[in-house]
Amino acid sequence: NVTRLEVGPKTFVKQDHEKVLLGPEGMLIIPPRHYAVIDNPAVRDKDGQVVIDANGQVKLLHSDVDIRFAQEPFPLYPGETLKQNVTP
């Protein structure tokens, strides 16, 4: 089974063999001078793009944490969790 994330706004049409696990969710917004702690962050390449494996799954850095500061709104990819809420 492969879980993927669709980022929009866009119209999503699921195929017959697909199942929707979660509905639309908001992106994570970190205001200036705040931070959030992400558990099991996605692997990113040198250009900052998320790395996808041969099966279409997002590669994760298991048992690792990522501290993210103010930036553009971003989604949490499958497997990433918000370990600590946005904190000043």
Whichever domain contains 11, its CATH number is 2.30.30.560
Each residue's pLDDT tens digit, 9-59: 889 899 999 899 888 888 999 999 999 999 999 999 999 899 999 988 999
Distance between start and end Cα atoms, the chain: 38
Distance of CA 48 to the CA centre of its chain: 13
Quote the number of domains for the chain.
Answer: 1
Identify the pLDDT of residue 45.
94
- Supply the range of the domain harboring residue 46: 1-88
